[in-house]
Amino acid sequence: MTKQTAPAGSDQGGLPYALAAYGLWGFVPLFFKLLESVPSVEVLAQRIVWSLPFCFMVMAFRRQIGDYFAALRDWRVLRLLVVSAVLIALNWLVYIHSIFSGHVLAASLGYYLNPLVNVMLGMIFLGERLSKLQMVAVAIAAVGVAILLGGALDTLWISLTLAFSFSLYGLIRKIVPVGSLPGLGIETTVLLPVAVAASAYYIWIGDGRGFGAGNEVSWLLAAGGVVTAVPLLLFATAARRMSYAALGFVQFLAPTVQFLLSLFVFHEPLKPVQLLCFLLIWISIAVFSFDMWRKMRTERMIEIA
């Protein structure tokens, strides 16, 4: 299996896809707030069920059905995608729970931490080297997380689960030799049996909150498939075209939007210890972003020369 890596500071055409993916993810809480009366597990199950038909329609349009079945028959590819499917399902479930329970701030922090986890994983598994400034950025963020251990431990698990599950998911999608759309189709296929069983259970108990309870809720749950698949496809494309460290630091867009939504739309309280943690994370992002800008500028000057 060949690992496709990119040098730090190079986007290789992936930047537009990354910006689109993270921009959409930033506003996703607004959509899921419309479904907060539905159990989190049912929302997750419906997301999976409705994502697969959408994936197949797009694969048929792009003539990638053959790639889907070829990857499905390749055990080396399939076993990696089984792991990535479990990771993304865990990420979705915790994220939905954070929105429904009024912890969008904790989710935002998790996705602020995600770039720093990306950096560490890129260094460990992909051989991407960190500069001194990048190491400083990671250290500053680590201090911020340590502060939360003393003042916001009740929601820290949300932040850490979201950060690590999505970072590991992105790492697998970067190295697995399959296109973004066929890969997502296989992940959804792997999760489908459990999702169908869970969906059938909630329809059977008929609590009047989920699918079938009303046209509005049913259509919103079905639309969750598109809301799920589109940014993931964009992200998977970006992950294969950018360095993993660079990809992570484009991600600040989504948690920034989520952070603003949590304060000004959902009116969540911001604890002093959370604010201090956010400040440290923002400083670490500024340090890392400055270092990456400096590297890209140097590379351009070398190319011009």
Per-residue HEC secondary structure of 92-106 comes to HHHHHHHHHCCCHHH
Residue 7 clears pLDDT 50, i.e. is over it: no
- Range among 80-89, 147-156, 209-218, 280-289 rated most confident: 80-89
- Range among 64-68, 146-150, 288-292 rated most confident: 64-68
* 193: number of Cβ within 10 Å: 10
The mean per-residue pLDDT over the stretch 143-168 comes to: 85
Residue 13 gets which letter from DSSP? T
Which runs of consecutive H residues, i.e. helices, occur in 101-214?
104-125, 132-151, 153-175, 180-205
> Tokens for 183?
């890969």
* Residue for token pair 């059905």: 65
pLDDT tens per residue across span 200-257: 898 888 765 667 667 788 898 889 888 888 888 888 788 778 776 677 667 778 888 9
Please tell me the pTM assigned to this model. Answer: 0.83
